[in-house]
Structure 1
Amino acid sequence: MANDPAFPPFPADTLPESPPSRPGPGWVETILILLAYFALQFGLGGGLGLLSQTLARAFPNAVPVEADRLVIVVILTLAGAAAITLALVTRRWGPLLRDGGPAGIGFTQPDGWQILFGSVLGIVAPLAGGLLTQLLAGDHEVSQAVSTLADNAHVGLRIALLPVAILVGPLVEEVLFRGALLALLRTRFGDGWAITVSSLVFGVVHLPDLGGLWYAVPNLVLVGAFCAWLRVRSRSIWPAYACHAANNSLATMAWFS
């Protein structure tokens, strides 16, 4: 895969040599840090939501309307969960962060063409995945929870939510799914199985945000597969991040249409 000459943005002979990989993430620590990220979202979201309701009851004329408060809670929740999770990753796997090998997280310098190619794939993925979702969903509407919240919020808060949805969320998810999880699977089962399994996990964990609508999962699995392939092919996490960010950017356009 890494030596396939059919993709000019990724010529094997121009890829930087990575240092020998250290032992990669283990099963227990990888699963725990994935669970910690979603537990942090649940805990922070619940706590901030309760605080929002308390302030609304105490000062009904001095706080934003409910839709705006919910978006503020989402921004603070995702930013807080991401910051804590990335700190945990750095503390636990610091030596692996700049390792581009199979066991590394992949914060290595990419080529500009790799970033561009990843961005293009990030736009192609939702277009192709949207057709697949439409085929599976039929007449059913598909929407993520954060999109529903943004649709009802003030335009200023929609804009404030953009950096979290486009930059922060993709960064922490790439570190977890195309960094730790992919490294765990690559070192044990090889690239093909690692890309497949990590993509499936990436799609399934988003089911709660999709309201349990299973027919929207294949779209996310496709995005996950593109991102995982980019990570393996480029030996860097940044093209996958560009793909993920471009995908989310396209999705957020609906907030302003």
Structure 2
Amino acid sequence: MSASHPKPTRATPAWKWLLALLSLVLSALLWVSGLIESLQRPSVGNALSLRQLELAVEAAPAMAGPFQGLLSGPTPAESLRQELAQQIEAEATPPTAAQALELALLEIQTGKTSQGQKRLLDLQSQVPPEQRPLLQQLAGKGTGGDRWAWKLSPFQGQLVCAQLGSEPPCPGAATPASAMRALVRLLGISAAPVLLLLLGLSLLVRQAWRRWRGGKQQAPALLGPPLDLLDATLLIAGGFVVCGELLTPIFLAPLIQAALGSSGLGSAANPGAPASALVQAITVLAMYGGLMSAPLLILWGQLRHRGPVPGGGWLQWGWRPLRTAGLGAVGQMLMVLPLVSGVGWLMDRWGGINSGSNPLLELVLNADQPLALGLFAFTATVLAPLFEETLFRGVLLPVVGQRYGGGIGVLVSALAFGLAHLSLGELPALFVLGLGLGWLRLQSGRLAPSVLMHGLWNGLTFANLLLLAG
């Protein structure tokens, strides 16, 4: 059932039509160019693959019997060496010194000793003088190498310690405790998702069986803000895309950089130095807050003179009872998980599109400060779900659905949701996720379950990155 929408009482000014048309044209240009640009943006998938293989090598001493074959394969070090060599060969830019060092040590560890030693000696010409003694020592051509002259990851430090031997004791050497910790993390990113997928599939089958036996369930009335398609266009195309995605970075980014520089945190205080994880996290939070401001102000302006607010509010949040909202969010997320995973697998296998990922993923993967991780987590699991669900499931879905049916509203909102992330390779999976979020909004009759599901989804992704990063 769809709620009837009040008819407009006066003619729409011509300037609103012109502004909406201009916003649509600019939005189309921005989204198309963003999708094309995503093909050139680096994907975090390669880094995730390497991290998982490194974790398998770290965990190998704690595994025995069939577990090693299931979790890491028979020769995890060789698998990592091949993957790293392929990624380095495919890159247009030369590898970093740390990457070349890791590959050389893996070659030595997997029996390609002469090849690895040659790579270590060749690397000397590419690094500062203070880093060369370690290379000579690792290649067996010198003594007194200084590991601390290098900026290495914990895994790379373990490779160095393994090559140097145990005399004197190497502070970064692998231990039974570190191997067990790596095994727990490996289980968290490999076994746990499989269990969730199986649970989601069982829930999907159960839901299909119940619908087949009990017939189609009657959805609640689709209530939403008293806006028309023109209002929704101005809100999303004008407020979100043009003001948020286009103008916010132009005007807000210099102000954030200046503020961070004056506080001693930004690059202005250390010209040429890479931004710290904390600076990146503050920047992401401030930029996202700026992106939210214009569309939320526009929405407030559109609703403030629309008469008395109905029960449940214009957006029908429906947070209470929180228990049913939470259970609905968890159940829907589990059922959507195998569908999104299946679409992602098909894209990897037959899609042929290798586009860049959300840059936030790589920032989280490489962050090494707890406060920075907390800010990233707040942006990803609280701000983003609240804001995006307000626009796409709180406004766009009911506005479209009240005119063309709830199913069309779910489709349109899912497509807009997927396009807004500006990643061509991730678009199909995001579209399916948007369908799940929209269906939950439609069937529950309230917005809160969709917000909770979105937050849980982002939280799972965030937790997976933390496990990989260690």
Shorter-chain TM-score category?
0.7 to 0.9
Whether 1:206 and 2:421 are equivalent positions in the alignment is yes
Would you say 1:137 and 2:344 are equivalent positions?
A: no
8 Å CA contact retained: 1:182, 1:195:
yes
Partner of 1:153: 367
Shift of 1:86: 2.8
Alignment of 1:1-257 (within 5 A): 6=211, 23-27=226-230, 28-30=233-235, 31-35=237-241, 36-39=243-246, 41-43=248-250, 46-48=253-255, 50-51=257-258, 56=266, 58-60=268-270, 65-94=275-304, 99=310, 104-111=314-321, 112-138=323-349, 143-156=357-370, 157-207=372-422, 212=423, 214-257=424-467
Partners of 2:385 and 2:454 within 8 A in 1: yes
Question: Following the alignment from structure 1 to structure 2, what is the Cα–Cα distance between the partners of residues 21 and 199?
Answer: 17
Give the distance between the partners of 1:126 and 1:81, measured in 2 at CA. 28
Consecutive unaligned residues in structure 1, runs of 5 or more: none
Give the letter aligned to residue 144 of structure 1: N
Deviation track 1:190-215 (CA, whole Å, cap 9, x = no partner) reads 111111111111111112xxxx3x23
Question: 1 CA distance for matches of 2:307 and 2:415?
Answer: 24
Say which structure, 1 or 2, has more relative contact order (CA 8 Å, 6+ apart). Answer: 1
Identify if the C-alpha distance between structure 1 residues 184 and 72 changes in structure 2 by more than 3 Å, giving closer, same or farther: same
Task: Read off the aligned partner of 1:107 and give its amino acid letter.
Answer: W
Aligned-pair distance for 1:176?
Answer: 0.5
CA distance in 1, matches of 2:337, 2:248: 25
> How many residues matched?
244
1:58–1:235: structure 2 CA closer, same or farther, 3 Å change rule?
closer
* Alignment check: 8 A CA contact 1:121 1:226 kept: yes
Residues 92-116 of structure 1, C-alpha deviation per residue, up to 9 Å, x if partnerless? Answer: 2245996589x95222355432431
% same residue: 21
Q: Is the contact made by 2:224 and 2:316 (CA closer than 8 Å) also made in structure 1? A: no
Give me the whole-angstrom Cα distance separating, in 1, the residues matched to 2:409 and 2:255.
36
Instruction: Measure the CA separation in 1 of the matches of 2:413 and 2:308.
Output: 19
| 2:432 partner letter | L
Which amino acid counterpart does residue 136 of structure 1 have in structure 2? Answer: M
More displaced 10-residue stretch of structure 1: 163-172 or 82-91: 82-91
* Larger Rg computed on CA atoms: 2
Q: Deviation per CA, 1:207-227: give whole Å up to 9, x if none.
A: 2xxxx3x23212111111111
Distance 2:430 2:310 in 1: 26
Distance of 2:255 and 2:338 partners within structure 1? 35
Alignment RMSD (CA, Å)? 3.8
Residue identity matched to 1:29: L
**Pairwise CA distance, 1:136:** 0.9
CA distance in 2: counterparts of 1:145 and 1:57, whole angstroms: 19
Letter in 1 for 2:339: A
In structure 2, C-alpha distance between the alignment counterparts of 1:152 and 1:53, rounded to whole Å: 20
Distance 1:206 1:96, change over 3 A: farther
Q: CA offset at residue 51 of structure 1?
A: 3.1
- After TM superposition, the score normalised by the length of structure 1 is 0.76
- Distance in 2 (CA, whole Å) between partners of 1:84 and 1:228 is 24
- Residue-by-residue CA offset, 1:155-180 (whole Å, 9 max, x unaligned): 31112211111011110100100112
Whole-angstrom distance in 2 between the partners of 1:59 and 1:118: 45
Q: Is the 8 A contact 2:281 2:375 kept in 1?
A: no
Contact 2:225 2:399 in 1 (8 A): no
